[in-house]
Amino acid sequence: MRAFADSLQSPLFRRALIEAVLVGVIAGVVGVHVALRRMSFFVVALSHGTFPGVVVASLVGVSLFAGGVTAAALMILAIVLVGRARAVDESSAIGVVLAGAFAVGVLLMSAQPGQSRDLTAFLVGQVLGVTTADIVRTAVVGALLFTVLILFRKELVGAAFDPAGFGALGYSATALEVLAMGVVAVALVTAIPTVGTILAVALLTVPALAARQCTDRLGLLTPIAGALGGVCAFVGLAAATVFGIAAGAAIALTTVVAFMACFLGKRVLA
């Protein structure tokens, strides 16, 4: 623990810790809707599908966040269009778009080998490189996402449990689906500096699944998932500092340990 205490003296580490906890809370809360809608495969696909957008952003010298969000928006649009054509089901449409998007990203990266450093950070995260501007952006984005989830809570939750019933009430199932995917996409891109695209899947899925082992009440599910996400981010980053291991992987592994603890605890107490 001496290493962790010493690290707290560094402004760079304190910024990393604040960013990690913010991202963990945001991803945990948004992950509840991933769990309710069973969108885990979509999150995996999205984590790869944003790759070409970030590659292009790196090549032209603009924000990786903007590139990732743009790529995510285009991917969601492609999924909706392919799905509405009814040629394939939604899972197949996601698979097709995933394959194409990731292939484009790899081709672009191979044409510009000098960009490998930034892109490696995009894939696995570089939380110790975050700036104060990154923290402010994460806080603003998180506030906006929470506002959307609060304003449309009834619609998003209701459509997740009974899409046909909500459609009969006059709600657009497609619009609510796109809204949910959009919220997940923005949360995923926000998590990229902390754990990278690949490991961001853990923060967006595992804390919410762990929270479901603790309660069946929807009103408690969101705060528990958010708290677990934040705690896992804190503990994972602290462990990475103490043991000298990769921060993103440590945070992701901590979420898995938390899930197993909740899973086993529920069965022991049952």
DSSP per residue over 111-129, as a string? H-GGGHHHHHHHHH--GGG
Q: Answer whether residue 269 is part of any domain.
A: no
pLDDT at 53: 81
C-alpha span between 64 and 24 (Å, rounded): 20
- pLDDT tier at 25, thresholds 50, 70, 90: very high
pTM of the model: 0.87
Top pLDDT among 56 and 95 is at 56
C-alpha span between 134 and 117 (Å, rounded): 19
Which CATH number fits the domain that encloses residue 24?
1.10.3470.10
pLDDT at residue 107 tops 80: no
Could you tell me how far CA 31 lies from the centroid of its own chain? 8
C-alpha span between 185 and 69 (Å, rounded): 7
Q: Which of 252, 259, 209, 261 is CA-nearest to residue 23? A: 252
pLDDT tens figures, 158-194: 877 777 676 677 777 778 888 999 999 999 888 877 7
Q: Answer whether residue 182 is part of any domain.
A: yes
Q: Answer whether residue 157 is part of any domain.
A: yes
Q: Answer whether residue 8 is part of any domain.
A: yes
pLDDT at 87: 56
Q: Answer whether residue 145 is part of any domain.
A: yes
Half-sphere exposure in the Cβ direction for 199 (13 Å, CA): 29
Q: Answer whether residue 175 is part of any domain.
A: yes
Compute how many other C-beta atoms are within 10 angstroms of the C-beta atom of residue 114: 7
pLDDT at residue 117 tops 60: no
Q: Answer whether residue 268 is part of any domain.
A: no
Please give the tally of structural domains in the chain. Answer: 1
Q: Answer whether residue 71 is part of any domain.
A: yes
Top pLDDT among 269 and 21 is at 21
pLDDT tens figures, 202-258: 899 999 999 999 988 888 999 999 999 999 999 999 998 888 888 888 898 999 999
- pLDDT tier at 124, thresholds 50, 70, 90: low
DSSP for the chain, written as a single string? -HHHHHHTT-HHHHHHHHHHHHHHHHHHHHHHHHHHHT-HHHHHHHHHHTHHHHHHHHHHT--HHHHHHHHHHHHHHHHHHHHHTTSS-HHHHHHHHHHHHHHHHHHHHHH-GGGHHHHHHHHH--GGG--HHHHHHHHHHHHHHHHHHHHTHHHHHHHHH-HHHHHHTT--HHHHHHHHHHHHHHHHHHHHHHHHHHHHHHHHHHHHHHHHHH---HHHHHHHHHHHHHHHHHHHHHHHHHHT--HHHHHHHHHHHHHHHHHHHHHHH-
* Best mean pLDDT range from 20-34, 55-69, 116-130: 20-34
| Residue whose structure tokens are 């899409």 | 163
pLDDT at 209: 93
Top pLDDT among 148 and 194 is at 148
Average pLDDT, the chain: 82
Q: For residue 176, give its domain range.
A: 2-263
- pLDDT tier at 266, thresholds 50, 70, 90: confident
